[in-house]
Amino acid sequence: MDSISALLLSPLALVAILVGPCWLRHNLIFRCFAVFVTVVLSWNTVCFTRQVNMVIDYVTGILSAWYIIWATSIMFCQGSIACRRHCQCSRFTDKVSKSLKEPTMNCSDIPARFSWDRLFWTLDLVTNFRLVGMDWHDGPRPKQNVGERNQSAGKLTFAIKHVLKLIGGYLWINLSYEMLFKEANDAFSKQNLVSRCRILQYLGCLSVLGTSMTMLHSSLALLWLIHQPLGLSENGLTFPPLWGPRSSILRSGLQGFWGEFWQDLFRIGLLSCGKAVLPAKYRNQPAAYIFPVFLLSGIMHTAGTLAVTGCTWAIGRTMAFFVLQPFGIIVQKLIIAALQQLSIIKYPRGTGKSVVQLMYMAVWARLTLPLLLDDLLLAGIMNDFLAPWSVFGCIYRTIYPN
């Protein structure tokens, strides 16, 4: 068993022993034990692919760090009022509750902090697939941008749409990607970091990452659709998408990219954890909570980089990328304000402002992306693919190396 597996499974085993009496008192021992076994088997399966698929290593590191951050925040930082807003989907439906003859978790009676009851409540939140710890209703997105969350959408249309996304993502990653970026892959494998190869690699890395996240979202959405008739989800068609509206990038530039578009589901969870560690008077001030949010994100990606490269010297570069992002947003605001003051940009929402913001994002990405991506690229992460068939192939090659 490797270090990451031991680091994750040891606390789970300890929690299982310590909260055993709490499980018995709440009469939920069967459900919690089943979930505990599922988590153990899932993480052991993921760890089979270590040192075979670097993309899986990176995702494992990120999710391990996120699980610790989120669970710690719920356990020690989140107040009862905040938690009550986040547990919309943490209860079983009446049908499942009656079939199991067990009480559901009551969101209006959240246990006090620093108690075994609060720990059990947190575990219950995890067992009901609340991996992010927030309900999407808490997000800042306006109601008209519900997109795939529309409850009136047909189940067949919903399923066909996500099946096509899965197939399209697989074809792009496994066919088009290798042909388009093969030259850059060869150059990076020889550590020939010329400018042209850097640009191709950055484009390839972002495209593969975006495609992989889209495939992940489609898989989870289909999973929730399957869970609906089983009573494990109140509405399988309201699974929150990972991405925010693209218009936010044109409207707000770098701030819109990080604040509304990029991995919207995780962003809401990071905002929840980031605000929880601040004093109450600073929680609604963006200038205050933006720094702990990027710091938490940096910790997550640092864990992923460490899992891939195994080099501690790469940690500082990855963390530096996320620490610099708030300053990039501030610099962008200052540039836009200066151009408006000089009447170069006349309309706050005009085309000129959008063009300037996109140009700034391109320059900023060129200056800062090497901190995040170069160590991963030199380690060979772009030679691995994150697709269901590839994952199964990694497991097979690990079990049967010859």
Whether residue 336 sits in one domain with residue 252: yes
Confidence of residue 113 (pLDDT cuts 50, 70, 90): low
Long-range contacts of 97-103 (CB under 8 A, 24+ apart): 99/231, 100/30, 100/31, 102/27, 102/28, 102/31, 103/26, 103/27, 103/28
Among 146-155, 159-168, 215-224, which range has the highest average pLDDT?
159-168
Where do we find the tokens 């708030």? Answer: 326
Question: Who contacts 72 (Cβ-Cβ below 8 Å, separation ≥6)?
Answer: none
DSSP code of residue 88: T
Looking at the domain assignment, is residue 105 inside a domain? Answer: no
Mean pLDDT of the chain: 66
- Helices and strands: H and E segment counts in the chain: 17, 0
Contact 315, 342 (CB under 8 A): no
Other beta carbons within 10 Å of 201? 22
Q: In the chain, pLDDT over 70 holds for what percent of residues? A: 45
Where do we find the tokens 């929402």? Answer: 349
Q: Name the more confident of 271 and 219.
A: 271
Backbone angles phi and psi of 59, in degrees to 5: -65, -40
Task: Determine the Cα–Cα distance for residues 295 and 324; give it in Å rounded to an integer.
Answer: 10
Please tell me the predicted confidence (pLDDT) of residue 123: 61
Pick from 256, 259, 280, 284: which is nearest to 270 by CA? 259
Please tell me the predicted confidence (pLDDT) of residue 303: 86
Looking at the domain assignment, is residue 24 inside a domain? Answer: yes
Confidence of residue 364 (pLDDT cuts 50, 70, 90): very high
Token pair of 3, please?
């270090």
Query: Where does a domain end: 218, 239, 260?
Result: 239
Q: Name the more confident of 238 and 227.
A: 227
pTM of the model: 0.68
Digit-coded pLDDT (tens) for 312-345: 777 889 999 999 999 999 999 999 888 888 877 7
Count of domains for the chain: 3
Exposed, middle or buried, 357 (CB in 10 Å: 0-12/13-18/19+)? Answer: buried
Task: Determine the Cα–Cα distance for residues 319 and 316; give it in Å rounded to an integer.
Answer: 5
Question: What is the identity of the amino acid at 280?
Answer: A
Pick from 385, 398, 400, 396: which is nearest to 56 by CA? 385
Q: Which residues of 244-264 are buried (b: 16+ CB within 10 A; e: fewer)?
A: bbeebbbbbbbbbbbbbbbbb
Token pair of 152, please?
């009136």
166 lies in which domain range?
152-239
Other beta carbons within 10 Å of 188? 24
Distance of CA 229 to the CA centre of its chain: 26
Whether residue 363 sits in one domain with residue 388: yes
DSSP code of residue 89: T
- pLDDT average, residue stretch 44-66: 67
Please tell me the predicted confidence (pLDDT) of residue 319: 93
Whether residue 347 sits in one domain with residue 298: yes
- pLDDT average, residue stretch 33-61: 60
- pLDDT average, residue stretch 19-39: 50
Residue 180 has pLDDT above 80, yes or no: no
Q: Name the more confident of 281 and 158.
A: 281
Digit-coded pLDDT (tens) for 182-203: 555 555 555 555 555 667 667 7
Whether residue 312 sits in one domain with residue 396: yes
Query: Where does a domain end: 173, 205, 239?
Result: 239
Where do we find the tokens 């919207």? Answer: 264
Rama region for 235: left / alpha / beta (φ>0; ψ in -120 to 50; rest) = beta
Digit-coded pLDDT (tens) for 129-152: 444 433 433 333 434 333 444 444
Indicate the length of the chain as a whole number: 402
Whether residue 121 sits in one domain with residue 184: no
Please tell me the predicted confidence (pLDDT) of residue 152: 40
Contact 382, 185 (CB under 8 A): yes
**3-class secondary structure, 358:** helix
Please tell me the predicted confidence (pLDDT) of residue 327: 94
Whether residue 387 sits in one domain with residue 249: yes
Contact 383, 188 (CB under 8 A): no
Contact 321, 371 (CB under 8 A): yes
Digit-coded pLDDT (tens) for 241-271: 667 787 888 888 898 889 888 876 677 778 8
Q: Which of 286-290, 359-363, 396-400 has the lowest mean pLDDT?
A: 396-400
Q: Between the CA of residue 59 and those of 160, 300, 307, what are the distances in Å? A: 27, 10, 9
- What is the longest distance spanned by two Cα atoms in the chain? 69
Query: Where does a domain end: 191, 216, 239?
Result: 239
Q: Name the more confident of 60 and 304.
A: 304
Confidence of residue 234 (pLDDT cuts 50, 70, 90): very low
- pLDDT average, residue stretch 225-238: 52
Whether residue 306 sits in one domain with residue 249: yes
Whether residue 285 sits in one domain with residue 179: no
Q: Name the more confident of 215 and 393.
A: 215
Pick from 255, 261, 262: which is nearest to 286 by CA? 255
Residue 310 has pLDDT above 60, yes or no: yes
Whether residue 338 sits in one domain with residue 253: yes
